[in-house]
């Protein structure tokens, strides 16, 4: 997906990028490739691949979930900033908090944010399990999102405790989504969310399958969740 195709594809979905936003994506690509030589941020480094599989794929969440109606977003395990930073570029009013367990990635994200002149960005170096038990962040966000971090039964325990009651958990998944959803039923209800909407679609150009889940936070998450670092992954709520 070249730059023009990217701009047109977003325009077709109702997102018209300004010159400033187009320049921000270009700079994002350059910094991603530059820093990727020093640390492992992504296996995808070609221009068309990054624009399709990182930028467009991240923004696709906004085709189905209305980010204009929310303010605070938490992105768990964002790595090089996906999906929240491409979404933030398109919806500048958002206040974004990213938590990641690797300090090198946080250093990159701080530099990226400065270079792209993004405001209301907050980066936290922490394990998601500990972050979710921190009263400063627990049940504080309108939306909690994650992309390709862990299977849904594990991911929900890392994300749902951060969403405020009446807020949302938005999970970006590939083709295994429906299978993961089945496995995660008990975890999702235990943690306090219910499935609001489910969307299946294909990425343009390569036609790879994607699934997006939007969950409503309908009640408070029991205090014991998330459990200690590593436990959700070893023994998911079943």
Provide the pLDDT for residue 220.
Answer: 97
DSSP one-letter code for 41: -
Provide the pLDDT for residue 59.
Answer: 98
Q: What is the CA radius of gyration of the chain?
A: 17
pLDDT digits (tens, 9 = 90+) for 158-209: 999 999 999 999 999 988 889 999 999 999 999 999 999 999 999 998 888 9
109, 115 contact by CB (below 8 A) = no
- Torsion sign across C-alpha atoms 106, 6, 29, 54: positive
Confidence of residue 234 (pLDDT cuts 50, 70, 90): very high
Provide the pLDDT for residue 207.
Answer: 85
Q: Give the span between the Cα atoms of 60 and 41, in whole angstroms.
A: 21
Count CB atoms within 10 A of the CB of residue 145: 29
pLDDT digits (tens, 9 = 90+) for 34-90: 999 999 999 999 999 999 999 999 999 999 999 999 999 999 998 899 999 999 999
**Closest by Cα among 60, 106, 125, 115 to 86:** 60
44, 54 contact by CB (below 8 A) = yes
Q: Give the span between the Cα atoms of 162 and 139, in whole angstroms.
A: 4
Provide the pLDDT for residue 125.
Answer: 97
- Torsion sign across C-alpha atoms 140, 146, 152, 157: negative
Q: Give the span between the Cα atoms of 56 and 83, in whole angstroms.
A: 9
Provide the pLDDT for residue 84.
Answer: 97
Confidence of residue 140 (pLDDT cuts 50, 70, 90): very high
The model's pTM is 0.96
Query: In which residue are the tokens 């459990």 written?
Result: 227
């Amino acid at each position: 997906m070249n730059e023009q195709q990217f701009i047109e594809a977003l325009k077709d979905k109702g997102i018209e990028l300004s010159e400033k936003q187009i320049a921000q994506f270009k700079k994002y690509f350059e910094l991603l490739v530059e820093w990727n030589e020093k640390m492992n941020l992504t296996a995808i480094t070609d221009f068309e691949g990054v624009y399709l599989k990182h930028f467009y794929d991240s923004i696709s969440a906004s085709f189905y979930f209305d980010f204009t109606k929310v303010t605070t977003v938490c992105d768990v395990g964002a790595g090089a900033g996906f999906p929240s930073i491409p979404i933030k570029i398109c919806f500048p009013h958002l206040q974004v908090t990213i938590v990641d367990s690797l300090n090198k990635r946080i250093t990159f994200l701080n530099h990226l944010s400065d270079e792209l002149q993004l405001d209301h960005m907050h980066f936290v170096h922490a394990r998601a399990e500990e972050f979710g038990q921190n009263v400063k962040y627990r049940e504080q966000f309108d939306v909690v999102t994650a992309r390709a971090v862990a299977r849904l039964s594990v991911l929900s325990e890392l994300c749902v405790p951060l969403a405020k009651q009446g807020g949302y958990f938005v999970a970006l998944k590939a083709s295994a989504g429906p299978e993961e959803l089945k496995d995660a039923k008990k975890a999702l209800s235990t943690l306090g969310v219910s499935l609001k909407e489910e969307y299946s679609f294909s990425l343009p150009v390569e036609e790879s399958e994607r699934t997006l889940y939007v969950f409503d936070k309908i009640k408070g998450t029991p205090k014991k969740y998330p459990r200690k670092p590593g436990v959700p992954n070893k023994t998911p709520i079943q």
